[in-house]
Amino acid sequence: MWLKDSSIGRKLIMSISGIALILFLLFHGTMNVVAIISPDGYNMICEFLGANWYALVGTIGLAVLVIVHILYAFYLTLLNYRARGFERYAVTKKQAAVEWSSKNMLVLGIIVLLGIGLHLYNFWYKMQWVELRHMMGADVDVSKATDGIGYISELFANPVYSLIYLVWLCALWFHLTHGFWSALHTIGWNNDIWMKRLRVISYILATLIVLMFAAVVIFYYGSSLACGIAA
Amino acid sequence: MAKKQNIIDEAKEAIQKAAETVTETVKDVVEDEKTQKIVKQVKQTAEKVADKVQEIIDAPETKEAADALKDAAGKVADAVKAAVSGKSEKIITPKDAKIPEGPLAEKWTNYKAHQKLVNPANKRRLDIIVVGTGLAGASAAASLAEMGFNVLNFCIQDSPRRAHSIAAQGGINAAKNYQNDGDSVYRLFYDTIKGGDYRAREANVYRLAEVSNNIIDQCVAQGVPFARDYGGLLDNRSFGGAQVSRTFYAKGQTGQQLLLGAYSALSRQIGKGTVKMYSRYEMLDVVVIEGRARGIIARNLVTGRIERFFGHAVVIGTGGYGNTFFLSTNAMASNGSVAMQIYRKGAYFANPAYAQIHPTCIPVHGDFQSKLTLMSESLRNDGRIWVPKKLEDAKALQAGKLKGRDIPEEDRDYYLERRYPAFGNLVPRDVASRAAKERCDAGYGVNSTGLAVFLDFSDAIKRLGKDVVAAKYGNLFQMYEKIVDENPYEDPMMIFPAIHYTMGGIWVDYELQTSIKGLFCIGEANFSDHGANRLGASALMQGLADGYFVLPYTIQNYLSDQITVPRMSTDLKEFADAEKAVEAKISKLMGIQGKRSVDSIHRELGLVMWDFVGMGRTAEGLKTALVKIKEIKKEFWSNVYIPGTAEGLNVELEKALRLADFIEIGELMARDALNREESCGGHFREEYQTPEGEALRQDDKFSYVSCWKYQGEDQEPELIKEPLDYEFVQRQTRNYKA
Amino acid sequence: MEKTINIKVKVWRQAGPKAKGHFETFELNNISTDSSFLEMIDVLNEKLISERREPIAFDHDCREGICGMCSLYINGHPHGPDDEITTCQLHMRKFKDGETITIEPWRSAAFPVIKDLMVDRRAFDKIIQAGGFISVNTGGVPDANAIPIPKKNADLAMDAASCIGCGACVAACKNGSAMLFVSAKVSQLALLPQGQVEAARRAKAMVAKMDELGFGNCTNTGACAAECPKGVKLSNIARLNREYLCAKLKD
């Protein structure tokens, strides 16, 4: 199967799963921004994307994408490590034209993955998962699943969580600045003229996505401070 | 009675001596038909002498007998003399050179129509060894394999794509007449003959011009990205020695693109298994069995193993011997060793003295320098060559007090435009080189060593704009800037002539076969098409013509009667002997363990060559060179030091093996230059020049190809002449003035 | 006029493909800044020979920056710190007095070391043999001007074709990928009508061979193009991806 056995095939998998994840992030980010604009609206979305069949299918699809993306990342890195040979260079220097992120996608990816783990525990485990169990008859507290806003403001009032989330988003930003144009490049949608444009678009897109997420963190951490002072 | 006995004894002694002399003289040359006849004659004479002695024993008049004896001895001496001089009179006729009958334009067509072919089933049974993967070697190997022959291809580099053809910059000539400027096959032929100073074979050159057009078609079909105009059609530029634009080019990297084209064709055959590629292998000898080349001995440069290879025919495409001069535009590993190996086995070495000195190279700048870098001849399309008019300006330039751009227009001497108004900066290479030397010798050199002239683009930049100039020559300008650390867009380039190409080489007939049967020689390695001087953009043309369109035909004429010859075992005595000789040579070299590095001796040889066998040669200088080269040879064979062992990779050993041959080529070059008492093309004897300093040919005496035949170690080679009779072209004094 | 510098050279020495390598440091004084990098190594080798030690083995040939034979990973850069040139055109004026210069061979699983700084790059030849050509035999081809080619395409093809096969792209790539090399050839031939006929077959065959020989996967870092001595562009890799994916999807 050429998607597994050829280098370009493997890269295509990375590329397509990556782009899909970026689309998801865009969607997720847009949703988050709602939390700032209209807390009620956000809670409506939380309810809407609860334990419904379409949300579940989406979640499973998303999980598959993430797993494929991660598995291929490790597989590719292993192959690439082998291709480099046993001896390593004693002196290496970075070329000016090479993005730092492009050479550290795996490390960035791992940080992002750890962040996802925490995030899943914080949110998915306590919201959709709880709701699922509830539906299956378990005796659990489903308040967080529907009152997203309440939960967010509670969580991000904690400065440690806020900081961890910000570091995570930082890694995500670097990951995306390279990831986006690289994905399109791998599909073949690039040429000399678009090379620069795509890189600029990558920066804009990564910044946009990260800002959407960070805004929520900062907003609720800020408001917790404000509330604290007010209290 | 005692007196009588004395005479008899003396006579016996004389006969013995005469017989000894005869045997000794003819010992080496008995295989020759003519010599054998003479030997027979001598024998008969000796028998007559014996008869006379018998008569003496009986005759009372001893005086008369003694006279008769003297007479007989004289006859023996004469016969021996005749045997020797008869040989040196030997000439090569057009028939020997296998030049086809008929009018010039029909010779090649006639040849192809009547040559013998090998049928496809038999081709598979025939092995051909091709040594070298440059334009000639790669194109020949690929074409032969496409036809169905079984090819073994060798190169010394790590990949066939590295051959030095890759460094050719400017372009390739063809008589396409796409520019509608009056070009034709005949004109290309004529320009090449004239450019070569009437020292090339007419039939070969005409064939070259004829197939030139096929080369362009072939290369385009292979995906060579030649420069094109906006209409999508091919573009041309002008080159030295021509008044038409017939040079096709791919930026400043034409050689690279053409070689990669041939390399891709070769790679396709390697992929199919029809060519077996041996890279990092160096040929060390040819194996000759019953007068025919049947294989080679080669050293695996990585493992150091000496290996034997059989072929029904052997093709040599190993390039020129310009590195004899140490500093040249050739690649570091370019060498003339294969030429010398086959020369020692009996192939004639033709016109060794004809070496081309390229006028536009970056000047020498230090003792550490390892090679010279060429700046393409195409630069002379737009660049103007000049030196200051005033000697004091030149002095200031040499002292570094002035820059080229500081000298006002009226104080510049555009000496090529001044001396050769018709061709201006685009005179042939030999003419441009000599003119530069003349100015520098007169003290007008423009750099610290006084050995450089300016190549100025300020006019072209003014006329065309910097962008256009950059688009045309950008990569050359960049190269110049990296090496010299000066910006040629602002300061004029400094250039000086350097050894670039060798027109001389192994003698071949019309079929590109050497004087050894089954041994062919193509590309720069042979002497064929350029006469005494090669025109720019013609080397690529010749290499590809030989490899794609000539050899694949002519070699079949030889192979057609070889189909019954089975593949031979490399265990044969001839292979074993050749291998033993190679091993002996290597262990001799390794055993010297002297004090000097190979390069230090090579540098010394290079200086002698440049000083005495370079641009201006004199009888006295050449004699000095011969003495000095002998000394260098002695030094080399007694004081060279090669570290390491012969097993495994040993670069110093490789270099030493090559230098051993360079020394002998140097000697051969000097000898040929001394023999050729005239100036023609790249060979300039200072004794033979016009009052204006132009080359003066001596057509009545030297209108021939000098072919040197090896006579043994430390023996003078024998000169065999191939007269050049011009049937179709009127010989003229070259004139680039009007 | 002529400036000289004193330097230390730290060179990788390795007796053979299987032997264990190590660094050796040499001191060199009075090196002219006008000499090329390889001439500096020549001087070093002359010195070693005079001390009856084995000279350093390194690949080099034309010394004009076109044959692609010279290599060397100098101070963390293939072909050294200067841009768009090969090692043979790198000059000592790019280095400072007293500097320690580290010289290593190309390091990649597909380019095993032969000796010292010399590596075996025949893998590149094998990739070309798999499909880096147009299948035409000698003779019987149409006239050179029979098919007009837009100047833009011809120029782009020329840019891609300027690859010298030195292997700097593989040496620079953290993944040991040969994508720039392969894409340059695929691009050159795909851009010309003569090469389009078998473009799909070529892209598939060359990529398959590249993968088989143990080169890594491209992750678009662009180090290859940044270090390429001939300025072969990264966009060629996008073209190769396009050619390959189209070819595969058509199957």
Place of tokens 């378990």: A138
Nearest CB neighbour to C242, from listed A95, A96, A188: A188
Range of the domain at A123: 2-87+100-230
ipTM: 0.98
Whether residues C125 and C244 share a domain: the answer is yes
The one-letter code for the residue type at B73 is: A
Closest CA to C116 of B650, A117, A192, B10: B650
State the total domains in chain C.
2
Whether residues C148 and C190 share a domain: the answer is yes
Whether residues C128 and C243 share a domain: the answer is yes
Mean pLDDT to the nearest integer, B662-685: 97
A25: distance to nearest CA of chain C, Å? Answer: 22
Taken in order B424, B426, B429, B433, the sign of the CA dihedral is positive
User: C98 lies in a domain?
Assistant: yes
Inter-chain contact B159–C122, Cβ cutoff 8 Å? yes
Q: Which of C52, C115, C128, C156 to mutate to test the interface with B (most CBs of B within 10 A)?
A: C128
Instruction: Report the share of chain B in percent with pLDDT over 90.
Output: 79
In A65-94, the residues whose Cβ lies within 8 Å of chain C are 76, 79-80, 82-93
Nearest CB neighbour to C128, from listed B176, B257, B264: B264
Q: Which residues of A touch C119 (CB under 8 A)?
A: none
- If one compares A151 and B39, the residue with the highest pLDDT of the two is A151
State the total domains in chain A.
1
Q: List subunits contacting chain B, requiring 3 or more Cβ pairs under 8 Å.
A: C
pLDDT per residue over B148-168, tens digit each? 999 999 999 999 999 999 999
Range of the domain at C14: 4-104
User: A137 lies in a domain?
Assistant: yes
User: A94 lies in a domain?
Assistant: no
**Across all residues in chain A, what is the average pLDDT?**
90
Residues pairing with C42 in the sheet: none
Say what the pLDDT of residue A147 is. 79
Q: What is the pTM of this model?
A: 0.91
Whether residues C138 and C217 share a domain: the answer is yes
pLDDT at C43 over 70: yes
DSSP conformational letter for B124: T
How far from B232 is each of B170, B180, B467, B469, C152, CA to CA, in Å? 21, 17, 21, 21, 9
Give the model's confidence band at A231: pLDDT under 50 very low, under 70 low, under 90 confident, else very high: very low
Catalytic residues of B, by residue number, are 429
Nearest CB neighbour to C245, from listed A83, A187, A195: A187
Whether residues C246 and C144 share a domain: the answer is yes
Q: Which residues of B touch C92 (CB under 8 A)?
A: none
User: C65 lies in a domain?
Assistant: yes
pLDDT per residue over C110-139, tens digit each? 999 999 999 999 999 999 999 999 999 999
User: C32 lies in a domain?
Assistant: yes
Give the model's confidence band at B78: pLDDT under 50 very low, under 70 low, under 90 confident, else very high: low
Inter-chain contact B227–C65, Cβ cutoff 8 Å? no
User: A199 lies in a domain?
Assistant: yes
Mean pLDDT to the nearest integer, B418-426: 92
- Rounded distance between C-alpha atoms, residue B190 and residue B731, angstroms: 11
Mean pLDDT to the nearest integer, A128-142: 83
Whether residues C58 and C171 share a domain: the answer is no
Inter-chain contact C222–A105, Cβ cutoff 8 Å? no
Partner C contacted by A186 (CB < 8 A)? yes
User: C111 lies in a domain?
Assistant: no
pLDDT per residue over A90-132, tens digit each? 999 988 889 999 999 999 999 999 999 999 998 888 888 888 8
Closest CA to C53 of A37, B644, A105, B610: B644
Partner A contacted by C237 (CB < 8 A)? yes
Mean pLDDT to the nearest integer, B103-107: 96
Say what the pLDDT of residue B198 is. 95
Partner C contacted by A228 (CB < 8 A)? no
Inter-chain contact A89–C73, Cβ cutoff 8 Å? yes
Whether residues C90 and C30 share a domain: the answer is yes
Q: Which of A10, A95, A107 to mutate to test the interface with C (most CBs of C within 10 A)?
A: A95
Return the residue of C nearest to A181 by Cα: C220
pLDDT at B278 over 60: yes
- Rounded distance between C-alpha atoms, residue C28 and residue C51, angstroms: 14
Inter-chain contact C207–A8, Cβ cutoff 8 Å? yes
C247: distance to nearest CA of chain B, Å? Answer: 20
Whichever domain contains C194, its CATH number is 1.10.1060.10
Nearest CB neighbour to C141, from listed B163, B218, B231: B218
Which of C104, C137, C171 corresponds to the end of one domain? C104
Compute the C-alpha angle B194/B196/B202, nearest 5°.
Answer: 75
Determine which helix (DSSP H) or strand (DSSP E) holds C30, and give its type and residue range: strand C22-32
C167: left (phi over 0), alpha (psi -120 to 50) or beta: left
Return the residue of C nearest to B166 by Cα: C67
Give the other-Cβ count within 10 Å of B213's Cβ: 17
pLDDT per residue over B552-568, tens digit each? 999 999 999 999 999 99
pLDDT per residue over C162-221, tens digit each? 999 999 999 999 999 999 999 999 999 999 999 999 999 999 999 999 999 999 999 999
For the purposes of burial, counting CB atoms within 10 Å of the CB of A80, is it exposed (0-12), middle (13-18) or buried (19 or more)?
buried
Partner C contacted by A106 (CB < 8 A)? no
User: C112 lies in a domain?
Assistant: no
Whether residues C73 and C98 share a domain: the answer is yes
Nearest CB neighbour to B164, from listed C38, C62, C158: C62
**Across all residues in chain C, what is the average pLDDT?**
96
User: A159 lies in a domain?
Assistant: yes
B89: distance to nearest CA of chain C, Å? Answer: 43
Inter-chain contact A191–C239, Cβ cutoff 8 Å? yes
Inter-chain contact A82–C225, Cβ cutoff 8 Å? no
pLDDT at B46 over 80: no
User: C109 lies in a domain?
Assistant: no
- Rounded distance between C-alpha atoms, residue C127 and residue B450, angstroms: 49
B451, B505, B669, B588: CA torsion to nearest 10: 110
Q: Which of A174, A175, A185 to mutate to test the interface with C (most CBs of C within 10 A)?
A: A185
Whichever domain contains C100, its CATH number is 3.10.20.30
Which of C69, C104, C139 corresponds to the end of one domain? C104
Whether residues C14 and C73 share a domain: the answer is yes
pLDDT at A190 over 70: yes
Partner A contacted by C59 (CB < 8 A)? no
Say what the pLDDT of residue B367 is. 83
Partner B contacted by C116 (CB < 8 A)? no
3-state secondary structure of C105: coil
User: C157 lies in a domain?
Assistant: yes
Whether residues C136 and C230 share a domain: the answer is yes
pLDDT per residue over B618-669, tens digit each? 999 999 999 999 999 999 999 999 999 999 999 999 999 999 999 999 999 9
Whether residues C55 and C128 share a domain: the answer is no
Inter-chain contact C179–A6, Cβ cutoff 8 Å? no
In C204-243, the residues whose Cβ lies within 8 Å of chain B are none
Partner C contacted by B702 (CB < 8 A)? no
B223: left (phi over 0), alpha (psi -120 to 50) or beta: left
Give the model's confidence band at B29: pLDDT under 50 very low, under 70 low, under 90 confident, else very high: low
Whether residues C81 and C129 share a domain: the answer is no
- Rounded distance between C-alpha atoms, residue B194 and residue C115, angstroms: 49
Total beta-carbon pairs less than 8 A apart between chain A and chain C: 143
- Rounded distance between C-alpha atoms, residue B11 and residue B19, angstroms: 12
Whichever domain contains A40, its CATH number is 1.20.1300
Inter-chain contact B643–C132, Cβ cutoff 8 Å? no
Partner C contacted by A167 (CB < 8 A)? no
C205: distance to nearest CA of chain A, Å? Answer: 11
Partner C contacted by B647 (CB < 8 A)? no
Return the residue of C nearest to A185 by Cα: C238
